[in-house]
Structure 1
Amino acid sequence: MTMNMNPINERSISVPALFLAAPASGQGKTTITAALARYFTNQGKVVRVFKTGPDYLDPQILAQASGQPVVQLDLWMAGEAWCQQQLFAAAQVADLILVEGAMGMFDGDPSSADLAARFNIPIAMVMDVKGMAQTAAAIATGLARYRDDYQTLGLIANNCSTARHAELIQQALPDDVPLLACLANEPTVALPERHLGLVQAQEVYEQLEPIFELGCQWLVDGAARAKQSGAVADLFSLAHQVAFYPVADAELAVIEQVPKTLDQVRIGIARDAAFSFIYDANLALLEQMGAQLAFFSPLNDTCLPPEVDALWLPGGYPELHTQALSSNQLMHQAIKGFYHANKPILAECGGFLYCLESLTDLDEQIWPMLGLLAGQGLMRGKRGCQGMQTASLPEGDIRGHAHHRSRSQGTDTPLAYCQRQRHSADGEAIYRSKKLTASYLHLFFPANPTAVAALFLGAFNEPIKLGLG
């Protein structure tokens, strides 16, 4: 792989790029993407990684592996122009661009395949081949030929048990779908998981470092095994030059020339092990609009940052820290005082649960929470809710997504309900009390900067409701 920027005309930048997709979730995409990112980073290359869809956890892992920021790309939630501009910006600094898909290759609308096709990024298919051989080849061939608007480079066979296993898969694959790597079942490179997905990188930083380094050797060995089975492709020269283009000037103006609506507005943002589901794009937009960001920990701090004008309580894992959140009464008093001062608060998913009267954790213990809103939050094991939705607010529509394994009960009448992307049933409920806006939905701020600014300014048109306090 020749890694350098090669402008093919004044309006584009060409850089090697590779899209890693799979027939389903749980095939090893993140592990392999992280190992590739670390492999080339160790060689002194600048590797920019993107994650398909509204994922908070995988990007944390990939950012640590690459040492670079990781941006989520979603054609529906963020918009095509926004995604295009993010890729173009990365191409200006990167030696290699990697994009990790989400779920199965054709799952969702738009899907990983749609994203790869739109930006002409070639696809390497990742498949867990445990328990099959020729069938893996059949599935890979079907994925490669299902549509004709994208390019597939071949198959990375994960959990390939023996040399004979690799040979059987290789022999069954057509010439235009080569076997790229045969990765052994190697528990030492497995990424730690929990009920909503991967464990947050900040919790296992030191544990991840040896996993990444072992992953590099795992890839080298897997590529060698593919060679031994008769493969001709080279996993490490796989990425093809892709031309990335800037968006049109009019679209760029919308993306970049955001009015300073939040000039001098100081926003306190909860960020710790309990509250960490924060898009970097959201933070960047707030700063672009002139906001001053001040982070605090509801777990560990006893007061809010000084002179904050608004609060953002994002999602995360409050259910894993119920005792600490419940016992930090000084923080409770600080947030309640802020709420009763009629100042703006945005609470999303885990932040919404924190605002309820109580939260029942995974061990079915009940813990008092802030009590700003009526109702109780209850964890519910493996059942959950996820999907793309639009928050239909008086301030404007804001796109986002829901992903949780809890439910709320005993809540007051919602202000409104979110609209599901592809379904007529009501989505998540949106609650408003005083200037607190709360919902399970994780908002993507660049989807509607004007409406987001109104939330943090408290520029509401709805009647003020009484909360519990």
Structure 2
Amino acid sequence: MSVTCPALFIAAPASGQGKTTITAALARMLVRQGKRVQVFKCGPDYLDPQILSQASKQGVEQLDLWMAGEDYCQQMLFDAALQSDLILIEGVMGMFDGEPSSADLAARFNIPMIIIMDVKGMAQTASAIATGLANFRDDINVVGLIANNCGSERHAQLIRDSLPTSLPLLASLERTPMVALPERHLGLVQAEEIIEELESRFNAGADWLERAGLEEMIKQPLLSPVEFYPVEKLKNNIIQPSLKNKTIAIARDKAFSFIYDANLRLLKQLGAQYVFFSPLNDPHLPSADALWLPGGYPELHAEKLSTNHSMKLSIQQFHQSKKPVLAECGGYLYTLETLTDLDNKQHSMLGLIQGEGAMRGKRGCQGMQTAALPEGNIRGHAHHRSRSVNTPEPIAYGIRQRHSAPGEAIYREGTLTATYLHLFFPSNPAAIAQLLCPSKEVSNASAEIGITKAKNIEEGHYVS
């Protein structure tokens, strides 16, 4: 059985062209018309989905052929098609960047693409670039160009006249600061911090698109239905409730918010309950069997984290009780002894693991990696602009998607597993269950297996 639903893939020749701003504005324009719009974000990004969710008034999840897998992406699109008037997918980086790329995802599911391009400082050259992108591969269907930051109608006409008839100029968008989305060092500002400001910008963005005539342009034939299919084999792939009757405490506030909805959904499928708490504001942990400290912006709230002594003591006692703790990226920084913030001020952290964390300006690390854990391989990604030093010997390193050099270090201190990697739980549900509710066999073997992997990678041997 298949289902049809109109769908568009928003792509660009590079980052910084306005993809997220225009996708959010388009979603809000359609929502104002009473349409149910399901938006997805290509790649592992946490921040863009928060913005797009606020714009579309629907949950927004990540689609990535490597991290999540083809079957997962196919089923998510099918489920969305069952209940949506339109599916929008925002691409990542340039449309052919990465393996797999945005174009790979669009091609796999036959989704027509629109190119967003910042045309400031060029005219006919913009047409040449767009035409080259549209014809670079024969398995994609590019249905039009949106010229962002267009200076005048004459500017737009020069672009329009030099495009082939098969690649129309759908809209030329005037330059306006009213629709730009606020950014900081890791990307966009978290949506919950600036809801009122975002609402104003979304509505201004919808007006912006309507003035450019995009409301009429995106109708037929651009929005012709796309056919989506369920993944039949998933019917027999029942996840065992191996975390039944377990409660997972999850940090979630302005300092810790990088949480995949897919991860939460998997915890429920595994039979677990979860409860959110705030390391910034709460006095102590809720009652729980395991603790997850996800990524976020602890460096922006380091002083408050440092001075919430009762919460720090509560987490330290939780770890001392030998209950499982998973700390990712910002959560990992929180578990170190100290964290130096963007103003070069040092703050005391939890001290669950030896080491100091510090921000390092514009330099950073990112990329897809597999966490080679004793419980099993779990796919995920790294994205940070900090470093950690004086840490203990890792039990393993992340395995990079396309490079033989060792990835992010993975540490284990008692029942604490800490790393810069953000893990995508559905990539290995059994390993996640074992990580959050370890058996004695895995716990006893973890140090020996993990340290062997770490040493093998350091010596240049690839470990899978």
* 1:193 aligns to 2:193 (yes or no): no
Q: Which residue of 2 aligns with 1:122?
A: 112
* Aligned match of 1:427: 407
Q: Shift of residue 220 of structure 1?
A: 1.2
Between the aligned partners of 2:224 and 2:212, the Cα distance in structure 1 is: 20
Query: What residue number does 1:262 align with?
Result: 243
Q: Residues 404-461 of structure 1: CA distance to partner in whole angstroms, max 9, x if unpaired?
A: 0001000000011110000000000000011000000000000000000011103333
The Cα shift of 1:234 comes to 1.5
What is the aligned counterpart of 1:461 among 433, 443, 450? 443
The question of whether the paired residues in 2 share the 8 Å contact of 1:166 and 1:182 is answered with: yes
Question: Which residue does 1:288 correspond to in 2?
Answer: 269
For 1:63, the equivalent position in structure 2 comes to: 53
- Deviation, 1:222, is 1.9
The alpha-carbon deviation at position 13 of structure 1 amounts to 0.5
- Say if 2:392 is the partner of 1:412: yes
Which residue matches 1:312?
A: 292
Alignment equivalent of 2:282, drawn from 295, 301, 317: 301
Pairwise CA distance, 1:462: 4.1
CA distance in 1, matches of 2:117, 2:224: 21
Query: In structure 1, what is the Cα distance between the partners aligned to 2:322 and 2:377?
Result: 23
Match for residue 244 of structure 1? 228
Q: Which letter does structure 2 place at the counterpart of 1:253?
A: N
1:263 partner amino acid: K
State the distance in 2 between where 1:252 and 1:105 align. 33
User: CA separation in 2, counterparts of 1:312 and 1:23?
Assistant: 37
Q: What is the alpha-carbon distance in structure 1 between the residues aligned to residue 204 and residue 241 of structure 2?
A: 46
Alignment partner of 1:49 out of 34, 39, 61: 39
Partners of 1:137 and 1:116 lie apart in 2 by 22
CA contact (8 A) 1:362 1:379 kept: yes
1:92 matches 2:82 = yes
> Could you list the per-position Cα deviations for residues 289-317 of structure 1 after superposition, in whole angstroms to 9, with x for gaps in the alignment?
110111000000011112x0000000000
Please give the per-residue CA displacement for 1:293-349, whole angstroms capped at 9, x wherever unaligned: 11000000011112x000000000000000000000000000000000000000000
Determine whether 1:142 maps to 2:125: no
CA distance, structure 1, for counterparts of residue 163 and residue 184 of structure 2? 35
Q: 2:362: which partner in 1?
A: 382
**For residues 360 and 380 of structure 1, what CA distance do their matches in structure 2 show?**
9
Equivalent residue number for residue 454 of structure 2: none
Matched letter for residue 392 of structure 1: A
Cα gap change, 1:252 to 1:109, in 2 (>3 Å): farther
Tell me: CA distance 1:71–1:252, structure 2 relative to 1, closer, same or farther (3 Å): farther
| SS state at 1:92 partner | helix
What is the distance in 2 between the residues matched to 1:101 and 1:88?
A: 19
Q: One-letter code of the match for 2:194?
A: V
Say if 2:382 is the partner of 1:402: yes
Structure 1: which 4+ aligned runs deviate by more than 6 Å?
none
Whether the 8 Å CA contact 1:391–1:417 is kept in 2: the answer is yes
Tell me by how many angstroms 1:47 deviates.
0.4
Whole-Å separation in 1 of the counterparts to 2:63 and 2:211: 31
Contact 2:374–2:445 (8 Å) recurs in 1 = no
2:218 and 2:227 mapped to 1: Cα distance?
21
> C-alpha separation between the residues in 2 aligned to 1:178 and 1:264?
56
CA distance in 1, matches of 2:446, 2:428: 23
Looking at structure 1, the residues matched to 446 and 315 of structure 2 have their Cα atoms a distance apart, in angstroms, of 18
Query: Which consecutive unaligned segments of at least 5 residues does structure 2 have?
Result: 448-464
- Once residues 13 and 286 of structure 2 are traced to their aligned partners in structure 1, the CA distance between those partners, rounded to angstroms, is 46
CA distance in 2 between partners of 1:236 and 1:205 (Å): 30
- The residue identity in structure 1 corresponding to 2:223 is A
Post-superposition Cα deviations, 1:15-55, rounded to whole Å, max 9, x if no partner, equal 11000000000100011111111111111111000000001
Paired amino acid for 1:312: W
Contact 1:394 1:462 in 2 (8 A): no
Q: Among the aligned pairs, what percent are the same residue?
A: 64
Q: 1:21 aligns with which of 7, 11, 34?
A: 11
Letter in 1 for 2:58: Q
Q: Which residue of 1 aligns with 2:167?
A: 177
Amino acid of the structure 1 residue aligned with 2:94: G
Cα 1:39–1:247, aligned 2, differ >3 Å: closer, same or farther?
same
Q: Secondary structure at the match of 1:390?
A: strand
Q: Measure, in 2, the Cα distance between the counterparts of 1:68 and 1:428.
A: 33
Once residues 166 and 150 of structure 1 are traced to their aligned partners in structure 2, the CA distance between those partners, rounded to angstroms, is 25
CA distance in 2, matches of 1:185, 1:277: 32
Task: Classify the secondary structure of the residue corresponding to 1:177.
Answer: coil
Aligned to 2:455: none
Q: 2: CA distance between counterparts of 1:462 and 1:40?
A: 55
Amino acid at match of 1:137: S
How far does residue 253 in structure 1 lie from its aligned partner after superposition?
2.9
Give the one of 330, 333, 336 matched to 2:316.
336
1:209-261 per-residue CA deviation (whole Å, 9 max, x = no partner) reads: 0111111110012237xx9xxxxx8134432210010012x23433xx21101
Task: Write out aligned runs for 1:356-375 (5 A).
Answer: 356-375=336-355
Letter of the 2:179 counterpart: V
| Counterpart residue type for residue 267 of structure 2 | L
- In structure 1, list runs of 5 or more residues that go unmatched: 1-10, 228-232
Shift, 1:464, TM fit: 8.1
In structure 2, C-alpha distance between the alignment counterparts of 1:185 and 1:379, rounded to whole Å = 34
Aligned residue in 2 for 1:110: 100
Contact 1:29–1:100 at 8 Å: present in 2 too?
A: yes
8 A Cα contact 2:374 2:446, kept in partner: no
8 A contact 1:344–1:436 mirrored in 2: yes
Change (3 A) 1:464 1:164: closer
Q: Could you tell me which residue of structure 2 aligns to residue 234 of structure 1?
A: 217
Structure 1 partner of 2:21: 31
What is the alpha-carbon distance in structure 1 between the residues aligned to residue 131 and residue 212 of structure 2? 20
